[in-house]
Every structure is written in structure tokens, then in C-alpha cells.
């Protein structure tokens, strides 16, 4: 096939991650289609031009509609704040573009449903930025479970904590509003944990949950007063998976000292697996084999035997990083387009993940058990 043109909307944390991924993907992976970094969008125009030069894009614009309508753009990467995903994604799909959108899909489940259905109808490829499930350590954990390394799964525990909202005097931002951000810790962090739980154990059938806002107000940046925080700082759920396994999910954006503790334990009849994203190149495996006095956890360091680690580095234990996971994600999307198969996670998959976080919010508000499949 011919080369694929990339249009990138946004130049913040995730915008740069997408730019780095597309810039490196062919050099790292080799077996992906050739790409062109066609056009970058941000505001104001001067910033867009500067960032296009820095990221290696041929052109710049301050109008996302211009980017989407550009005939040289085949993939639209959306890395903007959450409230913009819906309109941008629908416009890109209507223009026949493939869409690579950061999570969550949108502010509400209704909007996410419309995005999923529009992509299905148009037949375009979609990818959602749940890049932690592209980690070779995670995919190896899934393989170990499928191979029966820890027996039958009996319980799952997961938590994802950061401290970026722990300080009550941090200024109020759009992330504190339902209209602009949607859910709080659940939409920003908890959905990543759900994506991992799905891969390790399977779909979640029902749950009962609670959530809280720790800091009810935050100071306005201009010093004129304080504004209300509308969404949750923490949330916790007891879950029942479709296969009968029980578990728990917990998330906080106000956990002092935690920078990206996306961690989980999977307990089985023959052992357990443990993982912590702050040590993303390590997997802990316990198996109840042999004399009890000699049993203990084995630390598995990722290396070339855990694909696609070897594409980045031939030496085990030298470690991958966050942006390397985005390269793996971008490669998967490009191959899906080339080979005409569904990417993972697509809008369909992300919709299933995000039904869970909305079920948690509903359960907490209405103080009842929620069946995820009914949403």
C-alpha cells in the first residue's frame, strides 16, 4: 500500500507522545507502512507552526476542521482535552479518516456509543490510547494466565493512584468540571485499570461502588476566589466478572507519593501474578510448586523473549518506557489499516471498558449494584 498521512490535533503531553511514536515507529518496528507527518493542529497559529517544526510535520494549522478535510491526511490523531473528542472524532469518521483517539472516548457513555456506531457504519479503523496494555510485561502476564501458569483465576485486585490532585491548593482547571472533563479519577486513571482487568480476567458483569471528592473547591488561578470541584478524586468498586471471578478496583488522583501506580494482582489456584506500572519492566510470578520452604516470588525482567521488546533493544533488563508503549500502539494501528483487520483496542473495545467506569459512577450515586451489560 502507499504511504499513510498523519494529522495530529494537540501538542500537549499526549500530542507529543503521538508525534514521538509516529516518528519512531518505522525505525523500531520495520514491518509497518511508510507514513507522512502531514499536518499538525494547535492554537494559536504561531504555536502550531513551532510545534510542527519540532515534531517534524510538514505543515501547521490552527483549525482542526481544516486538518480533517485535508486530502493528504489518512489518520487523525486526537490528543485534545476530553470535551473535544466527540465532535472531532465524528467529523473525522464522516470524512472517511481512520481515528486514533486518546482515552476516554468522550464525556458521556451516550457520546461514546455514537462514536462507536459511527465508526462501525463508516468502516474506518479506530484505536484508543490504552497503551499500558501494549506493555510486553502485560502481554506476557496474559500469556502465562492462558497457559495455566497460576491455575484457575479466583480473584483480582487492582488499583491506580497518582498524586497530581493531592495538594488542595493546586489551581482549579477544566479537569474539575463535568462539562469539560466528564468523570474525574475514573475517566483519567480508572479506565486504564479496567482495560488491564479485561485483558487478564475478562469482561466485568456487575459491580457495587462508592466514590468521593476529597477537595471540594480549588483556588482560581487569578486569585479571585475558589471554584467547585464537580467530579471524583477517588473511587472504589467491588466487581463480579462474567466468568464468576470476584475482584476490586480502586483509583485516586489524590494519593500522595504515587506517580503512576497502576498495579494489580491476579490470584489463581496454583499461584499469583503481580505488576506495578511504576516498575513497568518487571512482572512478579509466584507458583506453589515444590517444597513450601523454597517457594517465593520470581521477578521476570522483560527482554527480547517478550515481544516486541527486542525491536527496541537486544539486551534484557535494559528497560522500555512510556513512550515506547505508544510506539507499539501506533504500530498495531498501522498494521490494522494495512492488513484490513480491527485494531485493539478499537472504539468498540474502549466503549466496553468505559461502560465499567460509568457503572461505577452510577452505583456510587444511586447506592446500588449495577449490571454493566444494561448500560
pLDDT single digits (tens) 204-252: 999 999 999 999 999 999 999 999 999 999 999 999 999 999 999 999 9
In Å, how far from its chain's centre is CA 129?
4
Taking the C-alpha atoms of residue 131 and residue 11, their distance in angstroms, rounded to an integer, is 18
Is residue 279 within 8 Å of 301, Cβ to Cβ?
A: no
Give the relative orientation of helices 85-94 and 109-122 as an angle to the nearest 10 degrees: 10
- The H-assigned helical ranges of the chain are 13-29, 45-55, 64-69, 85-94, 109-122, 136-146, 178-181, 185, 191-200, 309-312, 322-339, 347-366
Residues across the chain:
375
Q: What percent of the chain has pLDDT over 90?
A: 99
Taking the C-alpha atoms of residue 42 and residue 89, their distance in angstroms, rounded to an integer, is 16
Kindly tell me if the per-residue pLDDT of 2 is higher than 90: no
Averaged pLDDT for residues 175-190: 95
Kindly tell me if the per-residue pLDDT of 1 is higher than 80: no
CATH code assigned to 4-131: 3.40.50.720
Kindly tell me if the per-residue pLDDT of 25 is higher than 90: yes
Averaged pLDDT for residues 42-53: 98
pTM value is: 0.96
Residues 6+ apart with CB under 8 A from 355: 109, 372, 375
What nine digits make up the cell of 365? Answer: 450515586
For residue 301, give the 3-state DSSP assignment: strand
Taking the C-alpha atoms of residue 258 and residue 166, their distance in angstroms, rounded to an integer, is 10
Paired residues of 243 in beta bridges: none
Domain range list for the chain: 4-131, 134-320+327-371
Residues 6+ apart with CB under 8 A from 261: 159, 160, 161, 162, 255, 276, 277, 278
pLDDT of residue 358: 98
Supply the mean pLDDT for the chain: 97
Averaged pLDDT for residues 276-295: 96
pLDDT single digits (tens) 109-165: 999 999 999 999 999 999 999 999 999 999 999 999 999 999 999 999 999 999 999
In this structure, CATH architecture of domain 134-320+327-371:
2-Layer Sandwich (3.30)
Amino acid at each position: 500500500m502507499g504511504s499513510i498521512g498523519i494529522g495530529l490535533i494537540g501538542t500537549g503531553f499526549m500530542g507529543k507522545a503521538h508525534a514521538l511514536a509516529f516518528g519512531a515507529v518505522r525505525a523500531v518496528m520495520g514491518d509497518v507502512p511508510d507514513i507522512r507527518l502531514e499536518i499538525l493542529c494547535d492554537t494559536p497559529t504561531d504555536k502550531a507552526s513551532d510545534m510542527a517544526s519540532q515534531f517534524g510535520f510538514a505543515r501547521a494549522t490552527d483549525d482542526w476542521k481544516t486538518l480533517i478535510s485535508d486530502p493528504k491526511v489518512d489518520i487523525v490523531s486526537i490528543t485534545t482535552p476530553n470535551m473535544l473528542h466527540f465532535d472531532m472524532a465524528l467529523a473525522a469518521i464522516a470524512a472517511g479518516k481512520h481515528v486514533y483517539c486518546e482515552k476516554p472516548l468522550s464525556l458521556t457513555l451516550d457520546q461514546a456509543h455514537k462514536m462507536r456506531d459511527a465508526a462501525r457504519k463508516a468502516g474506518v479503523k479506530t484505536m484508543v490510547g490504552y497503551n499500558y496494555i501494549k506493555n510486553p510485561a502485560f502481554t506476557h502476564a496474559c500469556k502465562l494466565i492462558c497457559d495455566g501458569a497460576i491455575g484457575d483465576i479466583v480473584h483480582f485486585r487492582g488499583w491506580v493512584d497518582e498524586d497530581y490532585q493531592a495538594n488542595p491548593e493546586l489551581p482549579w482547571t477544566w479537569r474539575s468540571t463535568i462539562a469539560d472533563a466528564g468523570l474525574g479519577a475514573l475517566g483519567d486513571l480508572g479506565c486504564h485499570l479496567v482495560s488491564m482487568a479485561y485483558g487478564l480476567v475478562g469482561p466485568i458483569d456487575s459491580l457495587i461502588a462508592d466514590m468521593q471528592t476529597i477537595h471540594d473547591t480549588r483556588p482560581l488561578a487569578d486569585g479571585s476566589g475558589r471554584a467547585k470541584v464537580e467530579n471524583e478524586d477517588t473511587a472504589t468498586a467491588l466487581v463480579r466478572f462474567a466468568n464468576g471471578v470476584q475482584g476490586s478496583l480502586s483509583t485516586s488522583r489524590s494519593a500522595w507519593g504515587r506517580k503512576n501506580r497502576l498495579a494489580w494482582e491476579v490470584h489463581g489456584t496454583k499461584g499469583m501474578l503481580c505488576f506495578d506500572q511504576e516498575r513497568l519492566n518487571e512482572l512478579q510470578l509466584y507458583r506453589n510448586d515444590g517444597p513450601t520452604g523454597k517457594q517465593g516470588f520470581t521477578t521476570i525482567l522483560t527482554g527480547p523473549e517478550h515481544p516486541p521488546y527486542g525491536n527496541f533493544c537486544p539486551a534484557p533488563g535494559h528497560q522500555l518506557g512510556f513512550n515506547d508503549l505508544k510506539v507499539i500502539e501506533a504500530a498495531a494501528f498501522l498494521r490494522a489499516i494495512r492488513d484490513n483487520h480491527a485494531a485493539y483496542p478499537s472504539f468498540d473495545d474502549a466503549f466496553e471498558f468505559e461502560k465499567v467506569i460509568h457503572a461505577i459512577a452510577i452505583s456510587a450515586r444511586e447506592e446500588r449494584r449495577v449490571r454493566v451489560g444494561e448500560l
